[in-house]
């Protein structure tokens, strides 16, 4: 009876609140990273995401669910909204379709019907407590979207906490920390400060007194990473670690410069350093993206130009370092390690990891949500997308082994201590550019390597990534972890025909899940061939993507 009464009161409250947050009629889809589009279209979408988040919390025994408002690498005029599950990972995929159904409801009444049907189908008690915590990036549109979200949470009697401006990984951290508070294994203090303290403390332990060489210039894409990195640096104890960081592109007061000619996506897709400030030759540089979950390293050289160390390089560096530590710790027989990549991974990196490091590699569809779940199948799962988005997951068994195994030598003890510190340093919920940057810095310090030393570990195949505007990107459907097109019919045959003309070549096309466009990737034996192949495939995609074809 209680739930009937509650459902009726929910209905009235949702109807009243929803009337203030209409959606603009069009087809919406929960994509690679939630709903992402021009911010003007997102008010009603965000309201409805709030409804779903409240249901999800009640469905998950009243644990806290996260909602992040960000469009990450997209232009400043866009925004986005995505849901974070109780352990800080992305929303379970089955629920993405429920989000899509709620957001596409054609009227407030239909919205309430779908909401109630979902509650009934999932046996959700609408009188149970619900909690949602949320944050947003620096986009001005985030203000009103947060208000729409709060209206949905109030209408559904959901307790909510507004963490205001955060990096995406910080929100993921806070969700897990909230849900593990007071448990035998906690994730960290439930505050932004707790996040900085955890990282800084683990960074000091991971370094074991090793020196970090020279200055690191960090381009923050004029996004939330700028102020948050500056804040983090205050927590690094100067007497223990000499970490000379120059923070650039940290202007969050002019929203229009967000991701403009800077940031990890610019560096990766343009394959060049941000023009401003021009990096000094040889300086160790890295770029974060607009919400600080991607990381790309690079340096410039007067003779050889620009050299980039992307997500594939970070994955191979991390897998190499950690597998050496596992060996030194005497844990090789008890813990397995694997690497997860997507079709964008450079063939050079996959060869290096499988043949030289002898570590298995699994390929998944694009989107960290896919990689994360596969990585969980290993004791140590290293996952990175080539665009610099990724992390390393440690299983409960692995963490236990690092802390409890009895070291037989000082070398084993050191290795176990570093492994234990890495399990704290590396964000266990999602890719985190600040945490990944500390990981890279710690590894380079241990190996006493420059970026040039790191770059020499293997040779990348020349490659090119192209963004292609098409009439209807949804015409492009893929299989085989997005490496092949099933639709439009005939397109894959033409791509295969183009690939055959080049040596050591590979190419694929897929619809983006965060932008209204298709992406084409090509690699081949030379830069000229990779560029030519990418152009050919882009033209095929353009032709098949125009609805008039």
294 binds ligand G16 per the rule CB under 6 A = yes
- The strand ranges marked E within 414-494 are 463-468, 477-479, 484-487
Report the distance separating Cα 514 and Cα 289, nearest Å.
Answer: 14
Q: Which is nearer to ligand G16, 36 or 198 (CB)?
A: 36
Find out whether 421 is annotated in a ligand binding site: no
Least gap, CB of 473 to ligand G16 (angstroms):
10
Identify the DSSP state of 74. S
Find out whether 39 is annotated in a ligand binding site: no
The dihedral built from the CA positions of residue 361, 351, 329 and 433, taken in this order, carries a sign that is: negative
Instruction: List, by residue number, the catalytic residues.
Output: 72
**From 33, 52, 221, 314, residue interacting with ligand G16 (rule: CB under 6 A):** 33
Query: Side-chain half-sphere of 68: how many Cα atoms within 13 Å?
Result: 31
**From 44, 226, 513, 545, residue interacting with ligand G16 (rule: CB under 6 A):** 513
Q: Which is nearer to ligand G16, 368 or 470 (CB)?
A: 368
269 binds ligand G16 per the rule CB under 6 A = no
Q: What crossing angle do the helices spanning 43-59 and 142-155 adopt, rounded to 10°? A: 40
What residues form DSSP beta bridges with 34?
31, 32
Nearest to 33 by CA among 178, 141, 137, 133: 137
Binding track over 146-185 against ligand G16, x by CB under 6 A: ----------------------------------------
Count of residues that bind ligand G16 according to CB under 6 A: 18
Q: Which is nearer to ligand G16, 82 or 198 (CB)?
A: 82
514 binds ligand G16 per the rule CB under 6 A = yes
**From 78, 424, 460, 515, residue interacting with ligand G16 (rule: CB under 6 A):** 515
Please count the other Cβ atoms lying within 10 Å of the Cβ belonging to residue 98.
Answer: 22
Q: Which is nearer to ligand G16, 424 or 515 (CB)?
A: 515
Binding track over 60-99 against ligand G16, x by CB under 6 A: ------------xx--------------------------
User: Which 3 state secondary structure label does DSSP give 12?
Assistant: helix
Q: In what order do the strands lie in the sheet with 463-468?
A: 463-468, 518-523, 506-511
Least gap, CB of 172 to ligand G16 (angstroms):
11
For residue 142, CA distances in Å to 40, 184, 194 come to: 11, 36, 24
CB 372 within 8 A of CB 430: yes
CB 19 within 8 A of CB 108: yes
Binding track over 341-370 against ligand G16, x by CB under 6 A: -------------------------xxx--
Find out whether 514 is annotated in a ligand binding site: yes
If residue 398 lies in a helix (H) or strand (E), which one and from where to where? helix 396-404
481 binds ligand G16 per the rule CB under 6 A = no
User: Tokens standing for 212?
Assistant: 């970090």
Q: Which is nearer to ligand G16, 109 or 261 (CB)?
A: 261
If residue 348 lies in a helix (H) or strand (E), which one and from where to where? helix 347-351
Least gap, CB of 264 to ligand G16 (angstroms):
8
Q: Which one of 95-103, 218-226, 325-333, 385-393 is the stretch in contact with ligand G16 (CB under 6 A)?
A: 385-393
Find out whether 287 is annotated in a ligand binding site: no
How buried is residue 362: exposed, middle or buried, by Cβ count under 10 Å (0-12/13-18/19+)? middle
Q: Which one of 184-192, 356-364, 381-389, 491-499 is the stretch in contact with ligand G16 (CB under 6 A)?
A: 381-389
Report the distance separating Cα 210 and Cα 421, nearest Å.
Answer: 14
Q: Which is nearer to ligand G16, 105 or 440 (CB)?
A: 440
Report the distance separating Cα 90 and Cα 168, nearest Å.
Answer: 11
Q: Binding site, residues? A: 72, 289, 291, 293, 385-387, 510-514, 519
Contacts with ligand G16 by CB under 6 A lie at 32-33, 72-73, 289, 293-294, 366-368, 385, 387, 389, 512-515, 519
Q: Binding site for substrate, residues? A: 385-387, 510-514, 519
Q: Binding site for Mg(2+), residues? A: 72, 289, 291, 293
């Amino acid at each position: 009876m209680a739930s009937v009464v509650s459902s009726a009161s929910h209905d009235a409250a949702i109807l009243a609140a929803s009337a203030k947050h209409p959606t603009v009629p069009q087809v919406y889809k929960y994509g690679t990273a939630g709903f992402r589009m021009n911010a003007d279209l997102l008010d009603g979408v965000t309201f409805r995401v709030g409804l779903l988040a409240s249901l999800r919390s009640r469905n998950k025994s009243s644990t806290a669910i996260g909602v992040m408002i960000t469009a990450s690498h997209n232009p400043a005029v866009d925004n986005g909204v995505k849901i974070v599950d109780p352990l800080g990972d992305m929303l379970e995929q089955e629920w993405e379709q429920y989000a899509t159904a709620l957001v596409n409801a054609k009227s407030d009444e239909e919205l309430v019907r779908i909401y109630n049907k979902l509650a009934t189908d999932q046996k959700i008690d609408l009188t149970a407590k619900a909690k949602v915590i949320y944050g947003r990036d620096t986009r001005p549109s985030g203000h009103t979207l947060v208000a729409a979200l709060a209206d949905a949470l109030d209408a559904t009697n959901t307790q909510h906490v507004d963490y205001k401006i955060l990096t995406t990984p910080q929100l993921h951290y806070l969700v897990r920390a909230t849900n593990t508070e007071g448990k035998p294994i906690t994730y960290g203090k439930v505050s932004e400060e707790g996040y900085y303290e955890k990282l800084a403390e683990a960074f000091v332990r991971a370094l074991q007194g090793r020196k970090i060489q020279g200055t690191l210039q960090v381009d923050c894409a004029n996004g939330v990473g700028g102020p948050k990195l500056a804040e983090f640096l205050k927590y690094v104890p100067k007497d223990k670690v000499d970490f000379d960081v120059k923070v650039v592109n940290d202007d969050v007061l002019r929203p229009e410069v967000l991701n403009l000619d800077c940031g990890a996506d610019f560096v990766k897709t343009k394959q060049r350093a941000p023009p401003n400030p021009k990096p000094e030759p040889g300086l160790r540089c890295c770029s974060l993206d607009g919400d600080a979950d991607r990381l790309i390293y690079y340096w410039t050289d007067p003779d050889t130009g620009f050299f980039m160390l992307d997500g594939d390089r970070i994955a191979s560096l991390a897998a190499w370092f950690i597998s050496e530590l596992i060996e030194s710790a005497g844990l090789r027989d008890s813990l397995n390690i694997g690497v997860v990549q997507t079709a964008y991974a450079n063939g050079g990196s996959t060869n290096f990891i499988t043949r030289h490091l002898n570590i298995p590699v699994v390929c998944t569809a694009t989107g960290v949500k896919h990689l994360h779940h596969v990585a969980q199948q290993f004791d140590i799962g290293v996952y990175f997308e080539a665009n610099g988005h990724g992390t390393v997951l440690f299983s409960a068994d692995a963490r236990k082994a690092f802390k409890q195994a009895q070291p037989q030598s000082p070398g084993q003890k050191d290795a176990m201590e570093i492994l234990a510190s890495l399990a704290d340093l590396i964000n266990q919920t999602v890719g985190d550019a600040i945490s990944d940057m500390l990981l890279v810095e710690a590894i380079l310090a241990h190996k006493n390597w420059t970026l040039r030393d790191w770059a020499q570990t293997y040779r990348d195949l020349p490659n090119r990534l192209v963004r292609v505007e098409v009439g209807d990107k949804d015409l492009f459907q893929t299989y085989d972890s997005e490496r092949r097109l099933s639709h439009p019919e005939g397109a894959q045959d033409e791509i295969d025909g183009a690939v055959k003309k080049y040596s050591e070549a590979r190419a694929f096309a897929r619809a983006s899940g965060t932008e209204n466009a298709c992406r084409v990737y090509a690699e081949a034996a030379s830069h000229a061939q990779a560029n030519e192949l990418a152009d050919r495939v882009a033209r095929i995609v353009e032709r098949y993507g125009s609805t008039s074809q």
